[in-house]
Homo-oligomer: A and B are copies of this chain.
Amino acid sequence: MPIAAHPLNSFVAALELRSPMSESDRSALLDLPFSLRTLEKSSYILREADIPINCGTLVSGYAFRHKTTYSGGRQLLSILLPGDAFDLQNLYLNASDHSIQMMTRGDVALIDRRLLNDLAATRPAIQLAIFIKVLAEAAMFREWILNIGRRSAEERIAHLLCEIATRQQAKEPRLIDTFQLPISQEELADAAGITPIHVGRILKKLSTLGLVSRGRQSLEYSDLEGLGRLADFNPSYLHLRHDRMP
Protein backbone atom coordinates (compact mmCIF):
# COMPACT_ATOMS: atom_id res chain seq x y z
CA MET A 1 0.00 0.00 0.00
CA PRO A 2 1.56 3.30 -1.04
CA ILE A 3 2.20 5.76 1.78
CA ALA A 4 -0.04 8.38 0.24
CA ALA A 5 -3.00 6.04 0.53
CA HIS A 6 -2.34 4.81 4.06
CA PRO A 7 -5.66 5.08 5.89
CA LEU A 8 -3.98 6.38 9.03
CA ASN A 9 -2.32 9.25 7.21
CA SER A 10 -5.19 11.52 8.14
CA PHE A 11 -4.95 10.38 11.76
CA VAL A 12 -1.34 11.47 11.86
CA ALA A 13 -2.18 14.68 10.05
CA ALA A 14 -4.93 15.44 12.57
CA LEU A 15 -2.40 15.17 15.39
CA GLU A 16 0.29 17.07 13.53
CA LEU A 17 -2.02 19.96 12.73
CA ARG A 18 -1.31 21.55 16.10
CA SER A 19 1.78 19.72 17.34
CA PRO A 20 4.85 18.72 15.34
CA MET A 21 6.16 15.18 15.38
CA SER A 22 9.32 13.42 14.33
CA GLU A 23 9.46 11.12 11.33
CA SER A 24 9.97 8.28 13.77
CA ASP A 25 6.82 9.11 15.72
CA ARG A 26 4.91 9.43 12.50
CA SER A 27 5.88 6.02 11.26
CA ALA A 28 5.28 4.46 14.67
CA LEU A 29 1.70 5.69 14.40
CA LEU A 30 1.37 4.42 10.85
CA ASP A 31 2.62 1.02 12.02
CA LEU A 32 -0.28 0.65 14.45
CA PRO A 33 -2.60 -2.18 13.51
CA PHE A 34 -6.01 -0.96 12.42
CA SER A 35 -9.19 -2.26 10.88
CA LEU A 36 -10.86 -0.57 7.97
CA ARG A 37 -14.63 -0.54 7.72
CA THR A 38 -17.25 1.01 5.48
CA LEU A 39 -20.22 2.41 7.38
CA GLU A 40 -23.62 3.34 5.98
CA LYS A 41 -25.25 6.69 6.57
CA SER A 42 -26.79 6.92 10.07
CA SER A 43 -24.85 3.97 11.45
CA TYR A 44 -23.11 4.43 14.77
CA ILE A 45 -19.38 4.50 15.33
CA LEU A 46 -19.95 4.71 19.09
CA ARG A 47 -23.02 4.84 21.31
CA GLU A 48 -23.58 6.73 24.52
CA ALA A 49 -22.85 4.50 27.55
CA ASP A 50 -20.70 2.16 25.46
CA ILE A 51 -17.30 1.21 26.74
CA PRO A 52 -14.95 2.83 24.23
CA ILE A 53 -12.58 0.33 22.65
CA ASN A 54 -11.26 2.15 19.65
CA CYS A 55 -9.93 5.44 18.52
CA GLY A 56 -9.73 6.10 14.85
CA THR A 57 -10.10 8.33 11.90
CA LEU A 58 -12.79 9.11 9.36
CA VAL A 59 -11.06 8.11 6.16
CA SER A 60 -13.95 9.39 4.08
CA GLY A 61 -17.44 10.71 4.70
CA TYR A 62 -18.91 12.94 7.41
CA ALA A 63 -20.07 12.19 10.94
CA PHE A 64 -21.23 13.98 14.05
CA ARG A 65 -21.15 13.62 17.81
CA HIS A 66 -24.43 13.95 19.65
CA LYS A 67 -26.25 13.35 22.88
CA THR A 68 -29.93 13.15 23.68
CA THR A 69 -32.25 14.09 26.52
CA TYR A 70 -34.59 11.64 28.17
CA SER A 71 -37.51 13.18 26.33
CA GLY A 72 -35.85 12.51 22.99
CA GLY A 73 -34.28 15.83 22.09
CA ARG A 74 -31.07 15.42 20.14
CA GLN A 75 -28.18 17.85 20.29
CA LEU A 76 -25.18 17.71 17.97
CA LEU A 77 -21.89 18.50 19.69
CA SER A 78 -19.50 18.63 16.78
CA ILE A 79 -19.17 17.71 13.17
CA LEU A 80 -16.43 15.40 11.95
CA LEU A 81 -15.01 16.11 8.52
CA PRO A 82 -13.33 13.58 6.24
CA GLY A 83 -9.90 12.93 7.70
CA ASP A 84 -10.83 13.85 11.26
CA ALA A 85 -9.59 11.74 14.15
CA PHE A 86 -12.28 10.66 16.57
CA ASP A 87 -12.77 9.28 20.05
CA LEU A 88 -9.65 10.72 21.55
CA GLN A 89 -12.17 12.23 23.97
CA ASN A 90 -12.76 8.77 25.38
CA LEU A 91 -9.15 7.65 25.50
CA TYR A 92 -9.09 7.35 29.28
CA LEU A 93 -12.76 7.24 30.18
CA ASN A 94 -14.69 4.04 30.56
CA ALA A 95 -18.18 4.93 29.47
CA SER A 96 -18.88 7.23 26.61
CA ASP A 97 -21.13 10.16 27.46
CA HIS A 98 -22.07 10.75 23.83
CA SER A 99 -22.60 9.00 20.51
CA ILE A 100 -20.80 9.31 17.20
CA GLN A 101 -22.89 8.67 14.13
CA MET A 102 -22.24 8.76 10.39
CA MET A 103 -23.79 11.72 8.60
CA THR A 104 -23.04 10.16 5.22
CA ARG A 105 -21.74 6.82 4.03
CA GLY A 106 -18.00 6.57 4.62
CA ASP A 107 -14.95 4.61 5.68
CA VAL A 108 -13.40 4.54 9.12
CA ALA A 109 -10.08 3.18 10.33
CA LEU A 110 -10.21 1.85 13.89
CA ILE A 111 -7.26 1.59 16.27
CA ASP A 112 -7.38 -0.27 19.56
CA ARG A 113 -7.18 2.49 22.12
CA ARG A 114 -4.92 0.44 24.39
CA LEU A 115 -2.33 0.16 21.66
CA LEU A 116 -2.42 3.89 21.00
CA ASN A 117 -2.20 4.45 24.71
CA ASP A 118 0.85 2.17 25.02
CA LEU A 119 2.54 3.95 22.15
CA ALA A 120 1.86 7.35 23.68
CA ALA A 121 3.36 6.18 26.96
CA THR A 122 6.72 5.63 25.28
CA ARG A 123 6.63 8.59 22.91
CA PRO A 124 6.12 11.97 24.59
CA ALA A 125 5.55 13.82 21.32
CA ILE A 126 2.61 11.55 20.53
CA GLN A 127 1.23 11.91 24.04
CA LEU A 128 1.51 15.67 23.71
CA ALA A 129 -0.08 15.76 20.26
CA ILE A 130 -3.05 13.75 21.51
CA PHE A 131 -3.37 16.00 24.53
CA ILE A 132 -3.31 19.14 22.40
CA LYS A 133 -5.88 17.69 20.02
CA VAL A 134 -8.17 16.98 22.97
CA LEU A 135 -7.66 20.50 24.32
CA ALA A 136 -8.48 22.00 20.93
CA GLU A 137 -11.67 19.94 20.76
CA ALA A 138 -12.62 21.18 24.21
CA ALA A 139 -12.11 24.74 22.96
CA MET A 140 -14.54 24.00 20.13
CA PHE A 141 -17.09 22.71 22.63
CA ARG A 142 -16.74 25.98 24.52
CA GLU A 143 -17.36 28.04 21.40
CA TRP A 144 -20.33 25.79 20.59
CA ILE A 145 -21.79 26.70 24.00
CA LEU A 146 -21.36 30.39 23.29
CA ASN A 147 -22.86 29.94 19.85
CA ILE A 148 -26.02 28.25 21.08
CA GLY A 149 -26.32 30.28 24.25
CA ARG A 150 -25.74 33.77 23.02
CA ARG A 151 -26.26 34.10 19.29
CA SER A 152 -29.43 34.41 17.21
CA ALA A 153 -30.56 31.47 15.11
CA GLU A 154 -29.18 33.07 11.94
CA GLU A 155 -25.82 33.73 13.53
CA ARG A 156 -25.65 30.19 14.87
CA ILE A 157 -26.09 28.64 11.46
CA ALA A 158 -23.63 31.05 9.89
CA HIS A 159 -21.08 30.43 12.63
CA LEU A 160 -21.38 26.69 12.23
CA LEU A 161 -20.64 26.97 8.54
CA CYS A 162 -17.67 29.24 9.16
CA GLU A 163 -16.18 26.80 11.62
CA ILE A 164 -16.50 23.94 9.20
CA ALA A 165 -15.07 25.90 6.29
CA THR A 166 -12.13 27.05 8.39
CA ARG A 167 -11.34 23.58 9.64
CA GLN A 168 -11.60 22.23 6.14
CA GLN A 169 -9.27 24.89 4.86
CA ALA A 170 -6.74 24.24 7.62
CA LYS A 171 -6.60 20.65 6.52
CA GLU A 172 -6.23 21.38 2.82
CA PRO A 173 -4.60 24.76 2.57
CA ARG A 174 -5.33 25.26 -1.10
CA LEU A 175 -7.61 28.13 -1.91
CA ILE A 176 -11.24 27.11 -1.81
CA ASP A 177 -13.88 29.69 -2.44
CA THR A 178 -16.79 27.32 -2.16
CA PHE A 179 -17.50 24.26 -0.11
CA GLN A 180 -20.32 21.79 0.08
CA LEU A 181 -21.58 20.18 3.26
CA PRO A 182 -23.88 17.16 3.08
CA ILE A 183 -26.12 18.11 5.99
CA SER A 184 -29.90 17.98 6.30
CA GLN A 185 -32.02 20.69 7.83
CA GLU A 186 -32.89 18.44 10.73
CA GLU A 187 -29.22 17.89 11.52
CA LEU A 188 -28.52 21.61 11.26
CA ALA A 189 -31.41 22.20 13.63
CA ASP A 190 -30.05 19.75 16.17
CA ALA A 191 -26.66 21.38 15.86
CA ALA A 192 -27.98 24.88 16.44
CA GLY A 193 -30.53 24.02 19.09
CA ILE A 194 -33.56 25.09 17.06
CA THR A 195 -36.32 23.34 15.08
CA PRO A 196 -35.87 22.07 11.52
CA ILE A 197 -38.73 24.24 10.30
CA HIS A 198 -37.01 27.31 11.60
CA VAL A 199 -33.78 26.23 9.95
CA GLY A 200 -35.61 26.14 6.64
CA ARG A 201 -36.79 29.70 7.09
CA ILE A 202 -33.32 30.88 8.06
CA LEU A 203 -31.65 29.17 5.13
CA LYS A 204 -34.12 30.86 2.83
CA LYS A 205 -33.06 34.18 4.25
CA LEU A 206 -29.33 33.42 4.08
CA SER A 207 -29.88 32.26 0.55
CA THR A 208 -31.64 35.46 -0.57
CA LEU A 209 -28.75 37.35 1.01
CA GLY A 210 -26.49 35.41 -1.32
CA LEU A 211 -24.53 33.78 1.50
CA VAL A 212 -25.43 30.13 0.86
CA SER A 213 -27.04 28.07 -1.81
CA ARG A 214 -29.05 25.01 -1.04
CA GLY A 215 -29.44 21.51 -2.35
CA ARG A 216 -31.33 18.59 -0.97
CA GLN A 217 -29.58 17.47 2.20
CA SER A 218 -26.65 19.65 1.40
CA LEU A 219 -25.49 23.19 1.60
CA GLU A 220 -23.01 25.15 -0.45
CA TYR A 221 -21.59 28.51 0.40
CA SER A 222 -19.56 31.00 -1.50
CA ASP A 223 -19.51 34.20 0.53
CA LEU A 224 -17.57 32.98 3.52
CA GLU A 225 -16.52 36.45 4.48
CA GLY A 226 -20.12 37.61 4.55
CA LEU A 227 -21.08 34.66 6.70
CA GLY A 228 -18.21 35.43 9.04
CA ARG A 229 -19.33 39.03 9.42
CA LEU A 230 -22.89 37.96 10.13
CA ALA A 231 -21.78 35.34 12.64
CA ASP A 232 -19.14 37.30 14.52
CA PHE A 233 -16.71 34.56 13.60
CA ASN A 234 -13.21 34.68 15.05
CA PRO A 235 -11.21 31.52 14.36
CA SER A 236 -8.75 31.90 17.21
CA TYR A 237 -10.63 29.38 19.35
CA LEU A 238 -9.68 26.70 16.84
CA HIS A 239 -6.07 27.11 17.98
CA LEU A 240 -4.76 26.51 14.49
CA ARG A 241 -1.69 28.69 14.82
CA HIS A 242 0.67 26.46 16.69
CA ASP A 243 2.90 28.89 18.44
CA ARG A 244 3.84 26.37 21.06
CA MET A 245 4.65 26.72 24.69
CA PRO A 246 7.95 28.54 25.29
**Which residues of A are interface residues toward B (Cβ below 8 A)?**
19, 49, 65, 67-71, 73-75, 77, 89-95, 97-98, 113-114, 117, 121, 124, 127-128, 131-132, 134-139, 141-146, 148-151, 190, 192-193, 232, 234, 236-237, 239, 243-246
Contacts and interface: CB of A to CB of B under 8 A. Distances in A.
Nearest to A232: B70
Give me the 7 closest cross-chain CB pairs, A-B, nearest first.
A149-B193, A73-B150, A141-B141, A97-B237, A75-B149, A70-B232, A138-B138
A150 B75 contact: yes
Contact of A137 (B19, B71, B138): B138
A241 to B, nearest CB: 8
Contacts of A128: 92
Nearest to A238: B97
A236 B95 CA distance: 8
Contacts of A74: 150
B232 A69 contact: yes
Contact of A245 (B114, B134, B138): B114
A67 to B, nearest CB: 5
A144 B145 CA distance: 7
A190 B128 CA distance: 34
Given A73-B151, A245-B114, A239 B93 contact: yes
A72 to B, nearest CB: 9
A151 B70 CA distance: 10
A77 B142 contact: yes
Contacts of A137: 138
Given A127-B127, A148-B149, A138 B237 contact: no
Contacts of A136: 93
A166 to B, nearest CB: 14
Contacts of A141: 138, 141-142, 145
